[in-house]
């Protein structure tokens, strides 16, 4: 189920913005403790379009190098296809999912990434974005 903020949004994009602002605001005290990213489901390959400073801190990648890429760039040789499949299935169905995945930092070191993905839907119920939170 997507997030709804009443009459603030005419097409669902406003609610996405409000949710993101609330989450980003909550990271002000310790911005590197929370890694947030938003992807655009309406664009080819669901690219990352917005990240928190914490996303860069957790992964080691500069935020400017993250924007425009699919989250798959964090996967590596030890990432199990079985751990990724539930994420892919949830995205295809427009559902929320939480999964522990072995990802890789920019320096090549692996880390376990607890990923929580939530769909952000427009007023017609169509998925426009996904909001992802991750912790190391």
pLDDT tens for each residue of 14-45? 554 455 555 545 545 555 556 889 999 999 99
Of residues 8 and 101, more confidence is placed in 101
pLDDT tens for each residue of 107-126? 999 999 999 999 999 999 99
Position 1 in a domain: no
Position 68 in a domain: yes
Distance CA 43, CA 60 (A): 25
pTM, rounded to two decimals = 0.76
Task: Tell me which residue range forms the domain holding 20.
Answer: 6-28+35-135
CATH number, domain of 96, equals 3.30.450.20
Position 122 in a domain: yes
Number of domains in the chain: 1
Residue in 8, 51, 19, 31 with CA at minimum distance from that of residue 119: 19
Using pLDDT thresholds of 50, 70 and 90, give the confidence band for residue 135. Answer: confident
Could you identify the residue written with the tokens 């603030």? Answer: 8
Contacts of 118 (CB under 8 A, 6+ apart): 3, 96, 130, 131, 132
Sheet holding 127-135, edge to edge: 48-51, 35-40, 127-135, 110-121, 97-104
């Amino acid at each position: 189920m997507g997030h709804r903020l009443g009459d603030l949004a005419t097409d669902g994009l406003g609610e996405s913005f409000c949710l993101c602002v609330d989450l980003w605001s909550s990271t002000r005290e310790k911005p590197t403790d929370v890694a947030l990213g938003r992807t655009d489901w309406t664009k080819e390959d669901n690219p990352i379009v917005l990240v928190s400073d914490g996303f860069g801190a957790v992964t080691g990648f500069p935020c400017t190098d993250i924007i425009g890429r699919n989250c798959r760039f964090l996967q590596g040789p030890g990432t199990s296809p079985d751990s990724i499949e539930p994420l892919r299935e949830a995205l295809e169905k427009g559902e929320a999912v939480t999964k522990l995945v072995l990802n890789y930092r920019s320096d090549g070191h692996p880390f376990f990434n607890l990923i929580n993905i939530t769909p952000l839907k427009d007023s017609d119920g169509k998925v426009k974005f996904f909001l992802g939170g991750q912790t190391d």
